[in-house]
């Protein structure tokens, strides 16, 4: 009896060590990929690739460096938000935009542009008026948080995940319809909102890096503190409650962290598709870890994915740029289609 108990303990220790080694190994590879892509981000420009950093140091430090760092931070926030959403809803296909953040941000952007058009402000080019640009960033952030707040209000908190998801669907449909109506009344708002709807990293500067960094520094440690709650949720809500977890309050806090991370990223980059969904999925397919490591690795993977998309968007058709959100949507959709095809093939066998 004692021998079998010792063997069980040794197996648990070995399994834990393998998981820790696998997580560390993946973190190192993601860190190396981030560094290499960071160098690529500094080198990629409108005139192609150039590694003459010393000659163009001012241009590099003021334009390419904040864009590269901002893309990594925004992707990190989306990856973290995706891991939180999938843990809270116990669904590997949960997305950070499920609770109405995307529709809320879109509505706020369209409303701001419509009001600007009525007041005669130049809204055709999103980046020409920095005052308007800051107003749009603030509106997108408030709109994203407002969309999730409206979802929480409809669902009467975060006690029932199914009701919360349905509330997010209702809010998304409602705010999407109102946004379409506003764009129909004010076509100038549609032209101005196109860049936001497609997703872009072209307007990331140092004034964008600081809120992204602050949000990531705040959200990641707080989410990691409740990683054991997400681990308990894997076993079911009843099990989590029997462990003494105040599930409604903790779930509400995690949803608020999800809202903050998603809202900050959406406000600075627009609607970037699939990064928040794919990043945690890739981590789970690579290593078997608890949520403590999953949250950090998902943030790293999300940063690498969006940074890679940004470098490709700048390089493929230089001097023209592709919308980053379109690239992530195409590659993310292809990835999910491949997974679906493989799964259906295994089930057929």
pLDDT at 75: 94
**When comparing pLDDT for 295 and 321, which is higher?**
295
pLDDT in tens, 203-233: 888 888 998 999 999 999 999 998 888 888 8
Q: Please tell me the pTM assigned to this model.
A: 0.84
Quick one: pLDDT at residue 14?
46
Q: Is 267 among the domain residues?
A: yes
- Rounded distance between C-alpha atoms, residue 148 and residue 162, angstroms: 15
Look at residue 79 and tell me whether its pLDDT is greater than 60. yes
Rounded Cα–Cα distance for residues 294 and 284 (Å): 8
Task: Identify whether 15 is part of a domain.
Answer: yes
- Residues 266 and 113: their CA atoms lie apart, in Å, by 17
Q: Phi and psi for 129 in degrees, rounded to 5?
A: -110, 105
Mean pLDDT over 49-54 rounds to: 61
The answer, yes or no, to whether the previous bond of 89 is cis (omega within 30 of 0) is no
**DSSP code for 63:** I
Question: pLDDT at position 131, please?
Answer: 45
Q: Residue 233: what pLDDT?
A: 80
Instruction: Please check whether residue 90 lies inside any domain of the structure.
Output: yes
The answer to whether residue 89 sits within a structural domain is: yes
Residue that wins the pLDDT comparison between 40 and 318? 40
- Give the tens place of pLDDT for each residue, 228-287: 888 888 777 777 767 667 777 888 888 888 888 988 888 888 888 889 999 998 998 888
Q: What is the mean pLDDT of the chain?
A: 80
Cα distance between residue 175 and residue 337, in whole Å:
29
CA 252 to chain centre: 19
For 116-153, write each residue's pLDDT tens digit: 666 655 544 444 444 455 567 778 888 888 888 888 88
Higher pLDDT, residue 287 or 18: 287
- Cα torsion 211, 214, 215, 217 to 10°: value is 160
Task: Please determine, for residue 3, whether its predicted confidence score (pLDDT) is greater than 70.
Answer: no
More confident residue, 299 or 13: 299
Domain that holds residue 251: 2-344
In a domain, 19, yes or no: yes
349 domain residue, yes or no:
no
Q: Would you say residue 161 lies in a domain? A: yes
pLDDT at 130: 45
Q: Is 291 a domain residue? A: yes
Counting the structural domains of the chain, the total is: 1
- Tokens representing 309? 């998309």
Say whether 287 sits in a helix, a strand or coil: coil
CATH of the domain at 215: 1.10.3470.10
Phi, psi angle pair for 11, to nearest 5°: -65, -40
Is 138 or 84 the better-scoring residue by pLDDT? 84
- Does pLDDT of 9 surpass 50? no
């Amino acid at each position: 009896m004692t021998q079998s108990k010792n063997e069980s303990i040794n197996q648990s220790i070995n399994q834990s060590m393998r998981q820790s080694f696998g997580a560390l190994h993946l973190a190192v590879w993601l860190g190396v990929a981030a560094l290499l892509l960071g160098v690529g981000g500094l080198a990629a420009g409108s005139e192609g690739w150039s590694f003459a950093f010393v000659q163009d140091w001012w241009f590099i430090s003021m334009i390419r460096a904040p864009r590269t760092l901002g893309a990594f931070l925004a992707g990190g926030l989306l990856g973290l938000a995706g891991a939180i959403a999938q843990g809270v809803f116990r669904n590997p296909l949960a997305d950070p935009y499920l609770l109405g953040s995307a529709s809320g941000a879109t509505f706020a952007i369209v409303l701001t542009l419509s009001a600007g058009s009525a007041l005669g402000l130049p809204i055709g080019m999103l980046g020409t008026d920095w005052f308007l640009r800051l107003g749009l960033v603030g509106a997108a952030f408030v709109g994203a948080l407002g969309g999730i707040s409206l979802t929480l209000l409809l669902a009467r908190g975060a006690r029932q995940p199914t009701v919360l998801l349905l509330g997010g669907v209702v809010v998304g449909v409602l705010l999407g319809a109102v946004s379409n109506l506003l764009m129909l009344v004010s076509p100038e708002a549609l032209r101005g909102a196109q860049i936001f709807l497609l997703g872009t990293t072209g307007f990331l500067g140092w004034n964008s890096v600081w809120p992204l960094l602050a949000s990531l520094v705040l959200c990641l440690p707080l989410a990691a503190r409740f990683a054991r709650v997400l681990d308990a949720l894997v076993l079911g809500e009843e099990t989590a409650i029997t462990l003494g977890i105040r599930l409604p309050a903790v779930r509400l806090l995690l949803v608020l962290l999800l809202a903050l991370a998603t809202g900050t990223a959406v406000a600075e980059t627009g609607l970037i598709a699939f990064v928040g969904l794919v990043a945690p999925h890739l981590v789970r397919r690579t290593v078997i870890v608890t949520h403590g490591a999953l949250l950090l690795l998902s943030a790293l993977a999300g940063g690498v994915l969006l940074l890679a998309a940004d470098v490709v968007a700048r390089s493929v058709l230089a001097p023209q740029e592709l919308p980053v959100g379109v690239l992530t949507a195409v590659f993310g959709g292809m990835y999910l289609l491949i997974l679906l095809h493989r799964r259906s093939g295994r089930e057929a066998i």
